Structure formats: structure tokens, C-alpha cells
Amino acid sequence: MDEHSRNTNSTRNSNNSKNSNKATKANNKKIKFKPNASTVSKKENAKWVTFIVLLTFFLSATLSNISSTILESAGLASSFLILLIIIIIGIIFDIIGIAITTAEEAPFHSMASRKLYGAKQAIKLIRSANKASTICNDVIGDICGVISGAASSYIIITISKTASLTTAAVAGFSLTGLVAAATIGGKAIGKTFALKYNNYITYKVAIALSVLSGRKS
């Protein structure tokens, strides 16, 4: 090997060593991320958390009692229908929460400048997306999950009163699996739909809220 080749290899090895040392130093450095600036004070946040806890408690207790009362007077077929409605409500609100969280604010400013009905309400929804997501996904979504579980248990108990032990066990196993599959599968499909049509869904929700609140713009 001539002197030129030896010098070239030496230079390459030196450069590789330097690059390796730089990479090691970069990896050893602690990466720090700055938290996002909060626009809500700690006091307001505490009030919001308290409100959500109380809302969840009263909604859960009220809806559980209502569903139990309805299920007690309903037949087996009606009980399955009620269970399906509860699951669908949970999926719908999950879609709404995801859509509002991922919606873009810019198109609604253009709509608001043209004074389209519900545009201002849509902007408010997007700016309070964390609250909308908490109510739709966490409060209502989780409550529907709890109530659907209770409804499933009631249906299984009703079946066990007239069926054999084996039939009741199979029914309980099957119903639990079906409810879980319907809930998770429905939310998975709903999430794809919500991400694809987030602005459209947000606008429709904004219009509905504007109508319910009697807003004129």
C-alpha cells in the first residue's frame, strides 16, 4: 500500500472517530422539552376538574338508575336494543370528541367572515377542544361503557333465570365478547371517520349547539 492510500485511510478513520464521538456526546446529552404554555390558570383548571368530577358522578348515577328501571320493565329483545343504543351513543360521542380535537380553526374564520350560521360556535368549540374531548370521550364515553356493562350483566342474569347453567355461561361469555368487540370496533371505525371529516362534524355539532342555545349567529 502506497503512502497516499495510507494517508487517505488514516484521514477516513480519524473522521469516523470524530463523528462517532460527536454522536456519543449527542446521545449522552439530556433532551429537554419545554411544556406548552397554558392559557388556563390553576384556579380555573381546579374548577373545571371539580365540575367534571361532579358531572360524571351525577350523570353516571342518573343514567344508571334510568337504564336499570327501563331494563327491569323491558323484555329480553328490548334489553338488547337498549344495550345497542347505549353502545352507539358512546361511539357517536367518541367521534365528536376526536373530530373537535383535530379540527382546523382557519376554515371557520372564513365562514364566520361570511356570517355563516354556526361558524363562531365552531371556533369556540375548537378553542376549547380539551374540554369538549373530556366531556365527549371521557365523561359520556366512559359512562356509556359502564352502563353497557351493567346492561349486559342484567341481560345475562335474566337469561340465567330460565336457561340451564351451561347455556347461561355460554350466553354470558358470548355477550361480553360481543359488547367489547362492538364498542372497540365501532370506536376504531368512528375514529377513522372523525379524522377524515373532522371539520364537517365539528360544524354540524356547532350548528346543533347554536340551535339549542338559541344563538342567531
Q: What is the overall mean pLDDT for the chain?
A: 83
**Cβ distance 175 to 152 under 8 Å?**
yes
pLDDT of residue 39: 59
**Predicted local confidence at residue 36, as pLDDT:** 58
In tens, the pLDDT along 54-110 reads: 988 998 888 888 888 888 888 888 889 999 999 999 999 999 999 999 999 999 999
pLDDT, position 60: 87
DSSP 162-181: HS-HHHHHHHHHHHHHHHHH
- Structure-block grid coordinates of residue 119: 361558524
Q: What is residue 178's predicted lDDT score, i.e. its pLDDT?
A: 93
Give the C-alpha separation, 185 to 191, whole Å.
10
Instruction: Assess contact for 56 and 143: CB atoms under 8 A.
Output: yes
Among 76, 85, 82, CA closest to 158: 76
> In the predicted model, what is the mean pLDDT of residues 152-174?
87
The share of the chain scoring above pLDDT 90, in percent, equals 44
Range of the domain at 154: 43-103+129-195
pLDDT given for residue 121 in this prediction = 94
In this predicted structure, what is the pLDDT of residue 34? 67
Q: Average pLDDT in the 111-138 region?
A: 92
Q: Within a domain: residue 200?
A: no
Residue 212 lies in a domain: no
Cell numbers linked to 34 = 419545554
Decide if 69 is inside a domain. yes
The verdict on residue 15 lying in a domain is no
**31 vs 104, which has greater pLDDT?**
104
For residues 139 and 63, the answer to whether their CB atoms sit within 8 Å is no
Number of domains in the chain: 1
Query: Is residue 22 one of the residues assigned to a domain?
Result: no
Q: What percent of the chain has pLDDT over 70?
A: 81
Question: Whole-model pTM?
Answer: 0.77
Q: What is the pLDDT of residue 133?
A: 92
pLDDT band at 188 (very low <50, low <70, confident <90, very high): very high
**pLDDT confidence bin for 142, thresholds 50/70/90:** confident
Instruction: Identify the pLDDT of residue 40.
Output: 61
- Which of 197 and 21 is assigned the larger pLDDT? 197
Q: Is residue 214 part of a domain?
A: no
Residue 31 has pLDDT above 80, yes or no: no
- Write down the residue that cell numbers 360521542 correspond to: 93
Dist CA 114 CA 48 (whole Å) = 33
Model confidence over 16-25: pLDDT tens digits? 555 555 555 5
Domain membership flag for residue 33: no
In a domain, 2, yes or no: no
Residue 48 has pLDDT above 70, yes or no: yes
